[in-house]
A and B are shown apart, each in its own frame.
Chain A
Amino acid sequence: MRRSGSSPLINFKPFVESLIAILVGFIIGAIVLIAFGYNPLEAYYWLFIGALGSTRGIASTLKYATPIMLTALTFAIGTRTGIFNIGAEGSFYFGAIASVIFTNLWGNMWFGLLMGMLLGALWALPAAILKVYRGVHEVISTIMLNWIAWFFVLWLIVGPYANPNDPNKTIRIPEAARLPVIGYGLSIAIIIAVIAAILTYFLLWHTTMGFGMRASGINQKAARYGGMNPKMAIMWSFIIGGLLSGLGGAMKVMGEGPTYAISQGGANIYGFGFDGIGVSLVGRNHPLGIILSALFFGMMRAGTALMQVNAHVPLEIIKVIQGIIVITVAIPGLYDLLVRAFRGGVAQ
């Protein structure tokens, strides 16, 4: 790919910082494992083999990477425009339920994806409007909207769209509207997600609109001076973020068998928005970094299958590691801090 006009594809410092954070995560994870009497080397070995040791593992990695890649993009596009959009979760629910509702009206895959995106974007709008016109902080409004969305969708699951034959789940996506499967339960959703990431990158770094969004995100005053419209940039950031998460929600339901439905209590659509924030942070809020980061998170999730069976380690250890990684990434100027500490150590 060609170099952008703005930044090298992979920025050295943040890339190294993410690697350090990942290392720290695994080291602390190992300490926890040892403390509870597990063998970390064995655990990590099976984690790796489970994720990449077989075609099935790789397929599983890609499957797990898909939804979080899209929700991470939502967060990233927000950050790049200077907002803290944590509303991916709500848009994801709406995308998921929209796919169930609308594919059952017209069993067309593209129609389902489109409606998922539209409802995802629709759910992002209130936060955008409140931010731009009333100055409401988006962290507060999106938290509220996430919960409203959650209860609303929960009601749809057990109420109007409950499956009469299996009342704990919703009705299923009609076969005609399901995403084509590549193999081992992996659908084309991953391809669509990667394309979405590349398009997001293209939007932010190669279009006039994206230039305006990034400029507003860094310095609204300068953006206004430069003839841009920071208010519209924020609006678009929410809307596009909603489209992406809505797409993620729709594909989660339309692309994953055998159920092709939202399961009891919304269990299979919960938490991807929040996980996406971590993915985005580790991917340094860069769409291409997010592809790598989502694959990494996907690997960890996929690898747990063999880790649980062969090393008998509970799969939740990966959340521990991920949490540590995100907290480590949150240390400001991590790279410089380490360089200074290292130099200081050498000097003495």
Chain B
Amino acid sequence: MMERVPIVEMKGIVKVYPDGTKALKGVDLVVYQGEILGLLGENGAGKTTLMKILFGMLQPTAGKIFVKGKEVRFKSPSDAIAHGIGMVHQHFTLVEVFDALHNIILGMEGHGLLSKIDVERARRKIERLMEELNFRVPLDVPVEELPVGVQQRVEILKMLYRDVEVLILDEPTAVLTPIEVRELFRVLRQLKARGKTIIFISHKLNEVMEITDRVTVIRKGKVVGTVRTSEATPQLLARMMVGRDVVLRIEKPPKEPGKPILRVEKLRVIGDRGEVAVKDLSFEVRAGEIFGIAGVEGNGQTELIEAISGLRKVEGGKVYLNEKDITGKGPKELYDMGMAHIPEDRTHMGLILDMTVTENSILGLHWRPKFQRFKGVINWARAREHAQHLIEQFDISAPGTEAPVKSLSGGNQQKLIVAREVSKEPVFIIAAQPTRGVDVASTEYIRNYLVKLRNEDKAVLLVSADLDEVVQLSDRMGVMYEGEFMGVVKPEEVTTEEIGMMMGGIRYEEIRK
């Protein structure tokens, strides 16, 4: 075995965002020349933040970075590239109307700014590079016309054209089909054989097991540990990734669920990129039950919720609410039929930040007779009373009902949404990431309230990337992976390790075998 030279070292990296969020709490990372290092962790663990720091997109609050033993300080990505570090983001940064060749040479076209670009010379150089690495992309087609997997290879080529030695890939398989994943892995092995170093960010256990040499696991802004992949098992990695103490205790009396309120039958939903995001999914949520959906974000949860709540087109299958077919109905009708929805995107969907607390407090129920002076004219006096009532009932701290909602803290904004949705007096409520970015006190309040709704015989669909939350609150839970359930289980009957494996794409039946 060749001598192990650290090509990149990060020491004591701390990142505190302007709003006070501590994303990284002193992270040490060592990357060796010529290896594929897996960076494993849940959403929000800090993987991407750490790599954005290494790529010069973010500045660390504290800590040092060494490249080949020398301390460096990157002000921008181009600094990082100059030091041989490149990154391919989850969302590509390609100029869609340019062909691959121009995307690759952009910013280092050679010669003077006003001389003719030597396309043929660039082509020869890229062709040589592709030959060396044994993979190809069409160079003359606008990249927007290329499949996602090929676009990703263009991104990789863009970095290699700049002679980077360390290539960071952020969740590179998230957007790929299984065949494309195989092709990507082949490319990565080729790169490794050429002596390139790769940092592979992922939450998928199987992939990490398959492609990496070592794995560093990050949890809540800290490194849990680093293991050699050959000495690791999926079980071990799952435990490292999610195994942790439960923070909050929730009182949940046992309860027999009633009749099904929401029934989803073979639901098929298409995502923004045209991919099948939800694959013929079936489940039901019963009265007096919290049905949880766990899983790493981006596995179809968002599309599922949007389809159920009338915000996204249903491609196939049916949705029933109280045995009435609601497939394709819009939000207004659904709310009138007893649905409520705490959306995952608080600031862009749940609230209109530039509007007042009052206005936000009646959003989605403003057409109800209660808030109408006569048909079509809003009774703001009533609306203000309503807002005041919600503020008191949920103990929301707000400067007043006429303050813009953006002046409230994240926790109080979220409480306002919960309060409003509950005030719709629903029979079925969707709670998506209900406590994300919310302070501890509000989190506890919101979780207890969801249990209270369940105790009152409402049906609750809880979707959360926070595993503790799903495990604690749910009566039953499905673990979602690439648009399917890897298993529907009772939380008390499985171990966190097993859930972690399901989140990583292993079916429950296989685990139990």
Contact = CB atoms under 8 A, between A and B. Distances in A.
The answer to whether A and B interact is: yes
Interface of A: 3-8, 206-209, 211, 214-215, 218-219, 221-228
Given A6-B359, A219-B348, A222-B348, A208 B377 contact: yes
Contacts of A223: 352
Interface stretch (B86-94, B126-134, B330-338, B454-462): B330-338
Contacts of B309: 225
B358 A5 contact: yes
A6 B355 contact: yes
Given A208-B367, A227-B332, 11 more contacts: A5-B378, A5-B383, A6-B356, A206-B377, A209-B376, A214-B355, A215-B355, A222-B350, A224-B311, A224-B331, A226-B363
Contacts of B380: 4-6, 206
B112 to A, nearest CB: 36
Contacts of A7: 356, 402
B331 A225 contact: yes
B372 interface: yes
Interface string B342-362: 010100111111111011000
A5 B341 contact: no
B355 A227 contact: no
B102 interface: no
Given A222-B349, A222-B352, A225-B349, A207 B378 contact: yes
B354 A211 contact: no
B302 to A, nearest CB: 12
B366 interface: yes
A5 B348 contact: no
Contact of A211 (B343, B349, B378): B378
A82 B506 CA distance: 46
B421 to A, nearest CB: 11
Contact of A215 (B311, B343, B352): B352
B434 to A, nearest CB: 15
Contact of B352 (A3, A4, A219, A227): A219
B263 interface: no
Contacts of A215: 352, 355, 359, 363
A283 to B, nearest CB: 18
A223 B366 CA distance: 12
A117 B71 CA distance: 71
Contact of B341 (A3, A214, A225, A228): A225
B257 interface: no
A328 to B, nearest CB: 23
A4 B384 CA distance: 10
A227 B377 contact: no
Contacts of A4: 380
B364 interface: yes
B349 A227 contact: no
A279 B496 CA distance: 63
B364 A226 contact: yes
B367 A225 contact: no
B406 to A, nearest CB: 11
A206 B366 CA distance: 11
B358 A221 contact: no
Nearest to B387: A5
B367 A227 contact: yes
Contact of A227 (B331, B353, B354, B384): B331
Query: Which residue among A5, A8, A224, A228 has the maximum number of chain B CB atoms within 10 Å of its CB?
Result: A5
Closest 7 CB pairs of A and B: A5-B380, A227-B332, A226-B363, A226-B364, A227-B331, A225-B349, A222-B352
B376 A227 contact: no
Contacts of A208: 366-367, 372, 376-378
A4 B350 CA distance: 22
Interface string B373-396: 000111010011000000000000
A223 B358 CA distance: 15
Given A5-B359, A226-B364, A221 B348 contact: yes
B350 A207 contact: no
Nearest to B365: A227
A226 B348 CA distance: 12
Contacts of B343: 225
A202 B350 CA distance: 26
A226 B352 CA distance: 10
Contact of B358 (A6, A206, A214): A6
A209 B367 CA distance: 10
